[in-house]
Amino acid sequence: MRRAQVFFGICLSIALLLGIGALLTIPDATNLSVGASSTSLAVDSRVANDDSPNTVDGFAVWQSNACAGCHTLLGAGGGYASDLTRIVARHGADELRAVLRHELAAPSLIAATNARIMPRLGLTRGEIEALIAFLSSVSASAPLFPPQPLIETAIQTGLVAADPFDAVSTPVERGRRSFGSAPANCASCHSLEPDSIIVGPSLAGVAVRALTRVPGQSATTYLRNSILYPSDYLVPGYADAMAKNLGGMLTTDQIDDVIAFLLTLG
């Protein structure tokens, strides 16, 4: 019986040593944020360099605003809104900044059929920058989360043909298809020929015009805002006739594809 007790003691010691040892191997996210742009994670270099606000402050902003009550990081959190582990890498700091400043609705909110509303947090400029720096560091500290979707890997390695069902492969091609077909049917109102007006303005050359339409807004942000909130900026001389529910009709990916296509119309 005494030997069994000794065995138990040894097992307990092994377990505790294993836990402590494993913990010590975890890198510090604060340090990871510095130079994160040099990794292959596509982290925005403007927010993850030596001049960026301290990620610790961003973590404090994250905690004090109870972001994890709705969002998740590494899949842990409320689960009522998008996982933000790779948000900066996927959407870029500009778009995230615009959402946090309430200049742009979060695309995932619009795309979701259930209208969960992001509260107005009223963050200061410094807090927003700190939060973006923190999210960049999270992205850098979890290089394997989430893994690249199998289908993308298979397409990249040539194991399967890109989108074998309708031979649509790149975002631009998918966007061109969405532009001309249901549910968006953009082509029924917008021509792609210069000066050819159907209902709305022609979109020929829209990639160039989008850069300068609204000061301070990138072409991507302007186009996304025009799709999701068409009444926010009306081209002079045109009525406010565009459908207001495109955000509910199209998925986030479809909107991204349409924007990718429009950006080719230089």
| In the complex, least distance from residue 254 CB atom to other proteins, rounded to whole angstroms | 10
233 CB neighbour count, 10 Å cutoff: 12
- Find the binding residues for other proteins in span 12-41 (CB under 8 A): 12, 14-16, 18-19, 21-23, 25-30, 32
Residue from the set 141, 178, 217, 226 that interacts with other proteins by CB under 8 A: 141
81 is an interface residue for other proteins by CB under 8 A: yes
Q: Are 43 and 55 in contact (CB under 8 A)?
A: no
Length of the chain: 266
| In the complex, least distance from residue 34 CB atom to other proteins, rounded to whole angstroms | 13
Tell me which amino acid residue 221 is: T
Residue from the set 131, 134, 220, 224 that interacts with other proteins by CB under 8 A: 134
Q: Are 131 and 62 in contact (CB under 8 A)?
A: yes
How far is 242 from 234, CA to CA, in rounded Å?
10
134 CB neighbour count, 10 Å cutoff: 30
Instruction: Write the binding mask 203 to 242 for other proteins: x where contact by CB under 8 A, - elsewhere.
Output: ----------------------------------------
Q: Are 202 and 194 in contact (CB under 8 A)?
A: yes
Residue 58's H or E segment, with its range, is helix 55-64
| In the complex, least distance from residue 216 CB atom to other proteins, rounded to whole angstroms | 28
Tell me which amino acid residue 53 is: P
How far is 88 from 138, CA to CA, in rounded Å?
9
164 is an interface residue for other proteins by CB under 8 A: no
Residue from the set 42, 46, 83, 123 that interacts with other proteins by CB under 8 A: 83
Residue from the set 126, 152, 161, 183 that interacts with other proteins by CB under 8 A: 152
Residues 6 or more apart whose Cβ sits within 8 Å of residue 102: 120
115 or 167, CB closer to other proteins? 115
251 is an interface residue for other proteins by CB under 8 A: yes
How far is 214 from 25, CA to CA, in rounded Å?
48
- Compute how many residues bind other proteins; rule: CB under 8 A: 66
Interface contacts to other proteins, rule CB under 8 A: 1-2, 4-5, 7-8, 10-12, 14-16, 18-19, 21-23, 25-30, 32, 55-56, 59, 63, 66, 69-70, 72-76, 78-83, 108, 111-116, 134, 137-138, 141-147, 149-152, 251-253
